[in-house]
Amino acid sequence: MTIAKYWGFLPLLAVGVTAFANNNTDEQKELNRKNTIRLVMKHIREEHYAPKPLDDAFSKIIWKKYLQALDANKSTFLQSDIVALQQYETKIDDELETPSLEYFNAIFRISMQRLQELQPVYRALLSKPMSFRENETYQPDRSQAAFPSDVAARKEVWRISLKYQVLQKMVEIQQQDKTKSDVVAEQEARKAVLAAIDGLFKNLLANTAEDDRFSAYMNTITLEMDPHTSYMAPADAGIRESMMSHRYYGLGLELSTKDGAIVIKRVLSGGTADQSGFFSVDDHILQLSDDNGKMVDISGMSIVEVSKMIRGENNTSLKLLVRKASGVEKIVIVKRGEIKEDANAAKSAVITQGEKKLGLIQLPEFYYDFKRPEGARCAADIATEVQKLKAEKVDGIIIDLRGNPGGSLDQVVAMTGLFVKTGPVVQGKDRANIESYRIQNGDVPLYDGPLAVMIDEGSASASEIFSAAIQDYRRGIVIGSPSSYGKGTMQNTYPMGKLGDEEKGIPDVNYGSLALTIKKFYRINGGTTQLNGVIPDIIFPSKKQFAKIRERDNESALLSDSIPKAYYMTTSTGEALQAIAVKAQRRIDQDTAFNLVKRDVAWLKAHEGIVFSLEKNAFKKQQNEIQSYNNAIDKALKLPADQQLAIKGTSIKQPSPDKLAKYEEWMNNCRTDRYLAETVEVLTDMTVK
């Protein structure tokens, strides 16, 4: 059996289509699903780092979370359905042992019935003009609401929701064309919302619906073990592989699901989405344009389906309706482009600060092309960039790992060896043993000068291994958001299936694959990055510091603990680094721009979960106020023209016009980056002897 290792983020919800294409009978599908459950639970039981017991408590959690996955807004099922399904609340653990599909089959039948009932309801509601003069309100988050008591109550939930969607679309239409009257804009908005919901229901009621729901069911189970143990249906394998190899035409967005919605998990550096400057982690994608240019609501779709819609021919345009974390929704048009390996490759530049020359290296991920011996290796690329900077005679180097989700363990160990002479880099623990991953070269490091490492809440896994090692060796200063992501686990991916017999006409059966958490990381000081992340030596206020996007925000995350520390020797610069960090923190705490960020982020946090007015003028006022705070934060984090950094490029391997343009764009962003400017100040202090 081939086992693929990958240290980094894994899909949070992998919902596939046509999972068992070679077996079309209902009996065979039922058997295949039972075999899938049997294999998944066997792997979890025998190899998961800390499998949770299959008991009534686990059963109740799966029962509740699968309901949430199917009906996050409590707008489909009725209260009577929930009562009918309660007979399974403590039986799912037994069904997983058997295995049995009673709960899955029961809830699937009910959900399909309710969806079919709802089609004429929403169509009737959208067939008549809506008034936006009444003082009604809409609460987007219905997680604490009760399920509708009857069809009339459910219709009212839909009426309010549709009214909000039409109002949002109407305001958007009039922003784009201020000459349109309320009557015309409202009519166009209703038509657009109807088309979007028709598209959604087309997917929810499609022939692949049962396979999609089964994949979602399996992921509800696996993700309760921990946030990175996930089931991938057979159809998902190619999608995931292409995402890792970046060999497709798309936008460069890695997606996951949250409460039934499609959200951005990662914006790939160098992709067209990244170049637009618009997209952020945790943005909700609400609608996409189809092949005919019509907007389609994607709520309820699988990640595979959404990924297929996002991908297309090179240089073709895709329209997206995106909801930002602030609640503001906007339509953007982005062209597809090839997502290449070199878009995420290491790159460097030189920053001049007074009489000092400082090197900057950005590494978007710890990449490793394990299929090709001549393929990309990030540690080798970092070594190349360090050599370029040494040739420039820089006085210090900044390693920018912001947004880096991790990658290869081998590569992070090798990369640490470029800056640390010898010793352990990280410890790994499975069910029984503790293993130390050590620098192998034992020679003088490639670079031993002043070093600063930048991280944020998107820095995870291998990024946390590197920054933690730099901290523990006191080799440099780590600077960034209040904490990194907090992923301290390792996954193996196990294909599942059985070989057929070609001579007997028996086809192969593919049950998909399972990404399984098998180890935890520990720092060489014995602590762990799991949940805690890496706490920087110097902390910036962050726009996302309150966002629930870290490992600790997952209820099923493995706990944080400690093991005995490894033997290692720190450098003699610890006290000097601490003094520099204290000075820098004082400077940040007194900085006007950073204090503005703190104030406005606190305001946005206080106004989370806002209830929107459905009176047009009040609604517009709410959206404008939220947007003004977001704009103020973005402005504060950009340096004015007279404070911008003096930055120049280094040589680029195999330059092309597109590659050079992207490189120049990256440098332009660096010039105005207030976080980077403060890191430059810190590194300058470190160069003083």
Distance CA 279, CA 336 (A): 14
Q: How confident is the model at residue 235 (pLDDT cuts 50, 70, 90)?
A: low
End-to-end CA distance of the chain: 56
Residue 602 is assigned to a structural domain of this protein? no
Confidence of residue 12 (pLDDT cuts 50, 70, 90): very low
Same domain, 420 and 350: yes
Do 535 and 403 lie in one domain? The reply is yes
Q: How would residue 666 be classed by pLDDT, with cut points 50, 70 and 90?
A: very high
Among left, alpha and beta (phi > 0; psi -120 to 50; other), residue 74 is left
Instruction: Count the neighbouring beta carbons within 10 Å of the beta carbon of residue 227.
Output: 22
Both 441 and 576 in one domain: the answer is: yes
Handedness of CA 151, 157, 158, 160 (dihedral sign): positive
Kindly state the DSSP code that residue 336 receives in the 8-state scheme. -
Question: Which of 119-128, 435-444, 602-611 has the weakest average pLDDT?
Answer: 435-444
pLDDT over 70 percentage in the chain: 91
Its pTM stands at 0.82
Mean pLDDT throughout 552-562? Answer: 96
Last residue of a domain, one of 299, 321, 338: 338
Instruction: Indicate whether 70 and 135 sit together in one domain.
Output: yes
Q: Which residues of 156-179 are buried (b: 16+ CB within 10 A; e: fewer)?
A: ebbeebbbbbbbbbbbbbbeeeee
Residues 320 and 352 in one domain: no
In a domain, 400, yes or no: yes
For 161, 234, 299, 568, 683, the CA distances from 126, given in Å and listed in that order, are 11, 38, 18, 68, 60
CATH code, domain with 271: 2.30.42.10
Query: What digits encode the pLDDT tens for the residues 177-220?
Result: 999 999 999 999 999 899 889 878 887 888 888 998 999 999 99
Residue at 674 is within a domain: yes
Average pLDDT on 169-183 reads 93
Spatial separation of the C-alpha atoms in residues 390 and 384, rounded to whole Å = 10
Specify if 239 maps to a domain. Answer: no
pLDDT at 558: 97
Looking at the fold, whether 55 and 139 belong to one and the same domain comes out as yes
Distance CA 50, CA 1 (A): 23
Number of domains in the chain: 3
Together in a domain, 283 and 168: no
Question: Alpha-carbon Rg of the chain, whole angstroms?
Answer: 26
φ, ψ of residue 626 in degrees (nearest 5): -60, -45
- Is a pLDDT exceeding 70 seen at residue 173? yes
Q: Same structural domain for residues 292 and 324?
A: yes
User: Final residue of a domain: which of 338, 355, 372?
Assistant: 338
- We report the CATH number of the domain holding residue 453 as 3.90.226.10
Write out the DSSP string of 592-634: HHHHHHHHHHHHHHHTTTPPEE-SHHHHHHHHHHHHHHHHHHH
Neighbours of 609 (CB within 10 A): 10
What confidence score (pLDDT) does residue 11 get? 28
| pLDDT above 80: residue 223 | yes
- Give the whole-angstrom CA distance, residue 544 versus residue 98: 44
Q: Are 414 and 462 in contact (CB under 8 A)?
A: no
Question: Average pLDDT, stretch 413-426?
Answer: 95
Q: How many CB atoms lie within 10 A of CB 126?
A: 22
- Residue 270: φ, ψ to 5°: 95, -15
Q: Tell me: do 196 and 274 sit in the same domain.
A: no
**Does one domain contain both 304 and 347?**
no
Determine the distance from the C-alpha atom of residue 104 to the mean position of all C-alpha atoms in its chain, rounded to a whole number. Answer: 28
Non-local (6+) Cβ contacts of 311 within 8 A are: 248, 249, 250, 336
Rounded average pLDDT over 667-688: 97
Last residue of a domain, one of 323, 338, 353: 338
508 domain residue, yes or no: no
Q: Do 527 and 670 belong to one domain?
A: yes
What is the residue range of 351's domain? 341-489+519-588+640-687
Q: 559-616 pLDDT, tens per residue?
A: 999 999 999 999 877 789 999 999 999 999 999 999 999 999 999 999 988 899 999 9
Whole-number pLDDT of residue 34: 96
385 is a domain residue = yes
Q: Is pLDDT at 166 greater than 60 in this prediction?
A: yes
Phi, psi of 214 (to 5 degrees): -65, -40
Within a domain: 634: no
- Closest by CA position to 542, among listed 600, 591, 592: 600
Roughly what angle, to the nearest 10 degrees, separates helices 26-47 and 209-225? Answer: 10
Answer whether 413's CB lies under 8 Å from 439's CB: yes
Give the amino acid at 421: K
Task: State yes or no: pLDDT of 108 exceeds 80.
Answer: yes
Does residue 333 sit in the same domain as residue 355?
A: no
What is the pLDDT at residue 336?
92
In a domain, 426, yes or no: yes
List the one residue out of 464, 463, 423 whose CA is nearest residue 440.
423
Work out whether the CA dihedral 73, 77, 80, 86 comes out positive or negative.
Answer: negative
